[in-house]
Amino acid sequence: MQRRDFVKGLAAAAAVVKVFPEASEALEQQVERLRADVGAAIDDVHLWRRVRREFSLNPGVVHFNCGSIGATPRMVVDAMCNYMRRCESDPYDEVFGKGLAQGQAAVQEQAAEFLGAAADEMVLTRNTTEGMNLVATGLHLKPGDEVLTTNHEHGGGMACWQYLAKHQGVKMRYLEMPNPVTDKAQILERVAGLINARTRVCSFSHIDTITGLQMPLADIAAITRPKEIVLVCDGAQGPGMLDVDVKALGVDTYASSSHKWMLAPKGSGLLYIRKEVQDRVQPIMLYSGYAVYSGSGGTRNVPQILGHGMAMGFHNAIGRTKVEARCRALSRLVRARLREIPALSLITPEQEALSSGMVTFALDPGKGTNAEVFDRFKDAYNIILKRAQGTYAYVPEDHVPGPRPSYNAIRVSTHIFNSEDEVERMAELLGKMLA
């Protein structure tokens, strides 16, 4: 991130904390102190040890599952508590009046800067599922219209399309993901081969929730945009892990859950809808007193909204490029250590452009199941991993005839609160378990 973007991001964070003047000084001091400490760190070891102190994580538990849910920094929790006290001092004005209006506008502006969009292209939601539903129902697809997706999509982003297929005659088509992916051409050729005159939507994850694959969205957009196919992105695993620029990705919509890698309060999400397609995406849920894309939904949790903004300020104080570099560095270390264990194989692509902060490995069936490994690590070692789902896991039986392949696999998600020592210990224990 360029310095001007960094300064802009801090300015957006300041706008959030200034909504409540009596709380702003302490919160601004926390952000500024973190920014100064990060800048003064003599090396990466000291930098990330300093960042780790911002979290309340149990030191006896290693959290390697940010892909499911992240840990919220102390300053974000402090901000929410301050905002909550203010809301309860004047519930009507702060929840229905200036608190919501000022807070939502400030956070919406901040979210736009965070994703490289304009403020009127951003919606504050509760999670990726909500954002995907707003898009799917808002497109008003007709019987016979086709939606192209993959066999690796998460149920939260898949259910909305399946509903349209079941009740409105929309046809689903599924791209069988290569395993493993070694070159983006493997994906692009399949996308181009499955698109036809009836294709109205391509719906893909930014980061494959099963394998950690980073989809080549910009290249896919070069195929879809000339054909006026809406490119919908499930970005649950993107922002906060990667320094996301939705314009560079070329997507038409991008839905995300901020409680994962963005480390925001639980129940925080973002939805980007490119200005040029907003006339085609008209959600059926309308909001009283607000524009269609405000994301208001009636009474809202103002402290949560403002805490969402504080979480983005936390990332900006560290530097989003630093955060992405750290996520990638830990991911590379995980892959390097796992390659040394004969009883498993990596599913996550090795190419940097196709990989992410998540690493998935498949176990030799003769060495045990993913459930056994997950349980052993959680119960005996206090290390939280994630069992990987099988292909077509969220697809109805009548959509894909035949058996559903499954992965005997484990997913590891490392973030800025994790350390190299934790990775080394995890790999050592895994090697001994599978020996």
Q: By mean pLDDT, which of 150-159, 294-303, 372-381 is the weakest?
A: 294-303
Using N-to-C axis directions, what is the helix angle for 320-338 and 420-434, rounded to 10°? Answer: 20
In this prediction, residue 256 carries a pLDDT of: 97
Q: Which CATH number covers residue 369?
A: 3.90.1150.10
Question: Residue 351: inside a domain, yes or no?
Answer: yes
pLDDT digit string, tens, across residues 335-357: 999 999 999 999 999 999 999 99
Question: Residue 251: inside a domain, yes or no?
Answer: no
The better pLDDT of the pair 389, 330 is held by: 330
Question: Residue 15: inside a domain, yes or no?
Answer: no
pLDDT digit string, tens, across residues 103-135: 788 899 999 999 999 999 999 999 999 999 999
Give me the mean pLDDT over the 370-380 stretch.
96
Rounded to two decimals, the pTM is: 0.92
Question: Residue 281: inside a domain, yes or no?
Answer: no
In this prediction, residue 4 carries a pLDDT of: 46
Question: Residue 386: inside a domain, yes or no?
Answer: yes
Question: Residue 336: inside a domain, yes or no?
Answer: yes
In this prediction, residue 90 carries a pLDDT of: 85
Check pLDDT > 80 for residue 168: yes
Question: Residue 377: inside a domain, yes or no?
Answer: yes
Domain hosting 401: range is 321-434
| Integer angstrom CA distances of residue 112 from 118, 189, 274, 376 | 5, 32, 11, 42
In this prediction, residue 285 carries a pLDDT of: 60
Give me the mean pLDDT over the 213-225 stretch.
98
Q: By mean pLDDT, which of 121-125, 148-152, 256-260 is the weakest?
A: 121-125
In this prediction, residue 6 carries a pLDDT of: 47
pLDDT band at residue 288, thresholds of 50, 70 and 90?
very low
Give me the mean pLDDT over the 200-228 stretch.
97
In this prediction, residue 249 carries a pLDDT of: 98
Check pLDDT > 60 for residue 297: no
Give me the mean pLDDT over the 51-77 stretch.
96
Strands 358-363 and 409-413: antiparallel
Give me the mean pLDDT over the 167-194 stretch.
95
Domain count, the chain: 1
Question: Residue 388: inside a domain, yes or no?
Answer: yes
Q: Compute how many other C-beta atoms are within 10 angstroms of the C-beta atom of residue 66.
A: 28
Average pLDDT, the chain: 89
Which of these, 361, 334, 356, 327, lies nearest to 345 by C-alpha position?
Answer: 361
In this prediction, residue 99 carries a pLDDT of: 66
